[in-house]
Amino acid sequence: MTRTRLLAALVMAPVAIGAILLLPTPWVAALSAVIFLAGLWEWFDLAEIEDTLARTVLLAVHVAMIAAIVWASRTSAGTTLALYQLASVIGVIWWLLALAWLGRYEFASNHDTYARVFKLAAAALAMIPAWCALVWIHATVPNGHRWLLTALAIVWAADSGAYFAGRKLGKRKLAPRISPNKTIEGLMGGLVCGLLAGIGFALFAGASATQLPAVALVAVVAVLFSVIGDLFESLLKRHVGAKDSSHLIPGHGGILDRVDGVIAALPVFALGKALLGF
C-alpha cells in the first residue's frame, strides 16, 4: 500500500504544482472548483444521499453558489476579493464548530433526515470557503501562486509526516473512536514536518527573515486545522461504515480523502496571512 501511495503521489504532485505555479488565477479557480466539487459528490455519499437526481441538484446548487461569488466579485476595475475573504472567515468559524462536533460523536449519526441536513450544511460550509480561500491566496500580489503552494505544502508535509511517524512511533491514540489509526506521535510528526515545509516554502514565496515567526505560527495552526478536517471526514465515514470516500485514487482513497485536511487548512492560512501581513 505504501508503494502504491507514493507512486500515486509522484504522479499527482507535479501536476498540481505545475498548475499552481504556471496557470493564471481564473484557471486555477476553475480547476480547483472541479476538484472540490468532485470531493463534494463523495461527501453526498457520506451524507447518505443515494438518489442521483437529488445529488445532481445539490451539486448544481453549489456550482451556482460558486458562480454567484465570481459574478458578484466583478467590478469595473477588475475583481474584488471581499466575498472570498468573508467566506474564508466563515470557513474558519465553521471548523471551530466542527471541532465541537468531533467531541459529540453521536450527533447526527442516526441517519435520519435531520442528520443529512446537518451533514449537507457542513459540506457547503467546508467546500465553498476552502475554494474561496484558495482563490484569495492565489490572487494575492505579489507571489500569490507561491503562497498557495506554501499553504498546500504545509498540509501535504504534515500528512506525510503524520503517516510515517504514526507508523513508526505511534502508541498513544489521538481519537480512537473516530480514527483508530491516528496517534499523538503522528500528530507531533505532522506538526514538525508542516512547520519545516511552511518555513522552507515561505522563503521560496519571498518571505523575509522577520516574517518567518508569523509564518511558523500560521503553519502550526493550519496543521492543527487540517487534523480537524481529517478527523471530521473520518467521523462522517464512521457514521456510515465507510473506509474511504471512494476508490478513485490508488492507495489514497477518494478525492475527499485527499482534500479533507486542505479544505480546513486553507481558510485559516489565508486569514492568518492577511492578519499577520506576510
What span, in angstroms and rounded, lies between the C-alpha atoms of 225 and 40? 19
CA distances from 229 to 54, 166, 201, 218, 236 (A): 25, 18, 22, 16, 11
241-274 confidence digits (pLDDT tens): 888 887 777 666 799 999 999 999 999 999 999 9
> What total of structural domains would you count in the chain?
1
Measured in Å, how far apart are the chain's first and last C-alpha atoms? 39
What span, in angstroms and rounded, lies between the C-alpha atoms of 133 and 263? 9
**16: domain range?**
2-276
Q: Give the pLDDT of residue 147.
A: 98
Q: Give the pLDDT of residue 111.
A: 74
81-136 confidence digits (pLDDT tens): 999 999 999 999 999 999 999 999 888 888 777 889 999 999 999 999 999 999 99
188-238 confidence digits (pLDDT tens): 999 999 999 999 999 999 999 999 999 999 999 999 999 999 999 999 999
DSSP calls for 243-256: SSS-S-BTTTB-HH
What span, in angstroms and rounded, lies between the C-alpha atoms of 221 and 225? 6
- What pTM was computed for the model? 0.94
